[in-house]
Structure 1
Amino acid sequence: MPARLKVLTPAQLETALAATDTKALVKHYLAVLETRAPGRSVEVRVPPYAAVQAVPGVRHTRGTPPAVVETDADTWLGLATGHTTWAEALDSGAVVASGERTDLSPYLPLLSAP
């Protein structure tokens, strides 16, 4: 079973930003989303780095989740940091979202205070 995602400390985040450590940043912001939007109704995937289940609602337990958001690492980091809006990412096709509760715009960007 993969290790649970963890929010980086401020020092770790600064190091990851300075090194442009895409893997660490993707996992960090997925962990932040998980804490901001607790639940298991939407699976957010950023291949090949990680996936997380978040957003309140019906819990998913087996098979393909009924609600999935998938994007690439650069788009995820843009969304998380506010450099890209949810609408821009959807309109450009950089984010594929299917199912209920897949609008993550209420939770983005992830840099702001919860």
Structure 2
Amino acid sequence: MKKIGIILTIAVLLLLSVLFYFLRGTNLNRFGAEHYYIQITTDGESEVTVIDTGEKMERFSYQLPAYNEQGDMKEMTFTSHKNLRRDAYLKLFYKESKGVTSYEEVQENDIPEKALEQLKK
């Protein structure tokens, strides 16, 4: 009975080690999110916040139309810690309950055809 417990413990530890290895560096905010695509056309609106230590933190707010793979539009609001490059294409990760949870810059040829058609209008 003691051997079964030891083997079971080793198996669980091995399974957890493999799981942590594959999830390291993974942005969990992207799991289960819908994908929308935007093009940065304006500078972000600067928002400065003073934290408890007196340090100022600047974020840039954006409100732009975004398009999913079917070309359906949704107005998206999100923030960034830096002013994003104009004309850059972004893939937004959106969850109904949280809004935009993450984003990444993509190339024009990575954007689904119907979304790109809408962005080019």
- Considering Cα pairs closer than 8 Å and 6+ residues apart, tell me whether 1 or 2 has the greater RCO: 2
* Structure ID, larger Rg: 2
TM normalised by structure 2 equals 0.24
User: What's the TM-score, normalizing by structure 1?
Assistant: 0.25
More helix by share: 1
